[in-house]
Copies of this chain bind each other. A is one copy, B any other.
């Protein structure tokens, strides 16, 4: 039995990371409903006994992997470019949505047997202290500086950008182009805060 340890054994964090990466990949390919210990083990090149020593079922592996993701990057508004900052925030959202963690969260939220497992704590852990949607951070920053009346920043308005991006991702499965993101900003978000094409110039 000469070659059964071609690669050194992984231990501790290295092993855990490999398993976390594996479950995030596996769920993208098969969805939550078809996630198995066998599938995760195969992808991580680790036996099920190793998985069962730590986790009792595949969804637990998945939630643990999400728990250990780095928090999502938060938009950092500049000084004077509402349009650009909104496009950038939406681009961050798209990047996150297409990340392994983002896709895994989406898979859980759309699985009838798992959505309830997405606890508030885990959600906050993934998103850290973001204070709401990607675009909300930007919008609040500019409202605070008087670019538009703060009372226009309602929950509906804060959701517009991400809602449109989400729907685009669902409808086409493809990421919106930068032109499409700009169109969302100009045609939907800015009019809602009174800065549409017919609005008085600030």
Contacts and interface: CB of A to CB of B under 8 A. Distances in A.
A42 to B, nearest CB: 17
Interface string A178-195: 001001100110011010
Contact of A163 (B29, B166, B183): B166
Given A31-B32, A33-B31, A166-B163, A194 B192 contact: no
Given A164-B163, A194-B196, A110 B170 contact: yes
A196 B199 CA distance: 10
9 contacts: A30-B113, A31-B33, A33-B34, A34-B113, A110-B110, A154-B183, A159-B168, A160-B164, A163-B166
A193 to B, nearest CB: 8
Contacts of A30: 33, 112-113
A70 to B, nearest CB: 23
B183 A156 contact: yes
A187 B192 contact: yes
Contacts of A199: 198
B110 A187 contact: no
A173 interface: yes
Bin the interface of chain A by size.
35 or more
A184 B164 CA distance: 13
A interface secondary structure, majority: helix
A115 interface: yes
Nearest to A194: B198
A120 to B, nearest CB: 12
Nearest to A167: B163
A150 interface: no
Contacts of A154: 183, 187
A160 B196 CA distance: 15
Nearest to A184: B156
Interface in A134-184: 152, 154, 156-157, 159-160, 162-164, 166-168, 170, 173, 180, 183-184
